[in-house]
Amino acid sequence: MALLTDEIAGQLKEEFARLAQPVRLAVFSQALADPESEQVKRLVEELAAVDSRITAESHNFVLDKEKVEALGIKRSPAIAVVGAEKDYGIRMYGLPSGYEFGSLIDAIIDVSTGDSGLGEPTRAALRDIARPVHIQVFSTPT
């Protein structure tokens, strides 16, 4: 049974009309260790089926060391949301359900359009920051 209902898939199709550049969703999982791994993989595959600009790929967190290293994946299950021309460093850990599903959809659109939605004063202030800053948002299932 599909994780995305026909109704949700239809709404996503409309939302994804705004997509610009292709987006890669790279899943890293280890089926034996994570009960949620299979669901994360299926969710991402179903999202890729909604719009051809979204591609799904799946890697083994333990075995595919080169990919894990290249995308800086720290844990499993993980989804890396990567733009065609730029990796903005967006990673989601765990199964994005409930409210976090919306965060994943927003991340896909932001990466595809290359637009964070931040205001100009914020962007100007961020341009003055000379070193990478790691931001983590922690949530629980809703």
Q: Which of 1, 17, 32, 130 binds another protein (CB under 8 A)?
A: 130
Q: How far apart are CA 17 and CA 109, in angstroms?
A: 10
Q: Minimum distance from CB of 30 to another protein (Å)?
A: 12
Assess 126 for contact with another protein (CB under 8 A). yes
Question: How many other CB atoms sit within 10 Å of the CB of residue 55?
Answer: 16
Decide if residue 136 touches another protein (CB under 8 A). Answer: yes
Neighbours of 68 (CB within 10 A): 20
- Residue (1 or 135) nearer to another protein, CB: 135
- CA–CA distance, 63 with 129 (Å, rounded to integer): 36
| Contact call for residue 95 and another protein (CB under 8 A) | yes
Distance in angstroms (rounded) separating the CA atoms of residues 9 and 46: 9
Output the smallest distance, CB 128 to another protein, in A.
8
Contact between 100 and another protein by CB under 8 A: the answer reads yes
